[in-house]
């Protein structure tokens, strides 16, 4: 009798757990926002553009950096194309961003430190040779360009994507969604 009760309790618990897992695996569906909610103005526009397409991914931004430099950028891709693309092709640019010194260098260059001499004054970046090594890696991956001799800039078309990548990696500023 005790074994039968224990078995029934165990069976009930297993059924409960299976139901919970099934709920967790349900598709999320559309984002729970009301049409016209001002907080989701960009999402509303993407929904309109995505209707009947299988999905769209859009990122855009306007960035003023290092005083007088102004960048505006927008990209849009359909989800099917992104899913079918060669994701391994993104490994090099992502790898270049995967080092703290390189991220610090990009942040400093966006902030106006465009020469190795200016970058050498920042703490924790290593020797001049190490700085040049990291700058070459960032150039090779397309994040930095050499505007003129010994003058580095974040490539204009990469400013907003860089900020998007940092946001996607979990970096948050002061503004909300």
What band does 100 get if pLDDT is binned at 50, 70 and 90? very high
pLDDT reported for residue 85: 96
Domain-wise residue ranges, the chain: 38-168
Per-residue tokens: 174: 């002061």
pLDDT digits (tens, 9 = 90+) for 113-125: 999 999 999 999 9
Task: Tell me phi and psi for residue 103, to 5 degrees.
Answer: -65, -40
Residue 127 scores a pLDDT above 80: yes
Q: What is the mean pLDDT of residues 90-103?
A: 96
Task: Tell me phi and psi for residue 62, to 5 degrees.
Answer: -125, 125
Question: Residue 29 — left, alpha, or beta (φ > 0 → left; ψ -120 to 50 → alpha)?
Answer: left
The CATH class that applies to domain 38-168 reads mainly alpha
Residue 176 scores a pLDDT above 90: no
Q: What percent of the chain has pLDDT over 90?
A: 54
**Which of 123, 113, 125 has its CA nearest to residue 154?**
113
pLDDT reported for residue 1: 59
SS3 72: strand
pLDDT reported for residue 14: 77
Strands (E), the chain: 56-65, 69-78, 144-148, 151-154
**Which of 109, 89, 90 has its CA nearest to residue 98?**
90
Q: Assess contact for 164 and 126: CB atoms under 8 A.
A: no
Global confidence as pTM: 0.73
């Amino acid at each position: 009798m005790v074994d039968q009760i224990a078995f029934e309790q165990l069976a009930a618990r297993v059924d409960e757990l299976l139901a919970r897992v099934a709920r967790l695996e349900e598709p999320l569906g559309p984002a729970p926002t009301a049409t016209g909610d001002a907080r989701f103005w960009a999402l509303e526009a993407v929904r309109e553009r995505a209707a009947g397409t299988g999905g769209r991914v859009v990122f855009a931004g306007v960035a003023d950096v290092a005083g007088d430099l102004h960048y505006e950028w927008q990209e849009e891709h359909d989800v099917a194309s992104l899913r079918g693309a060669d994701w391994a092709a993104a490994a090099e640019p992502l790898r270049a961003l995967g080092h703290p010194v390189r991220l610090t260098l990009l942040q400093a260059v966006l902030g106006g430190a465009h020469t190795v001499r200016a970058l050498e004054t920042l703490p924790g970046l290593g020797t001049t040779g190490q700085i040049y090594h990291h700058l070459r890696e960032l150039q090779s991956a397309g994040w930095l360009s050499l505007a003129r001799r010994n003058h580095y800039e974040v490539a204009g078309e990469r400013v907003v994507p860089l900020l998007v990548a940092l946001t996607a990696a979990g970096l948050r500023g002061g503004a909300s969604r």
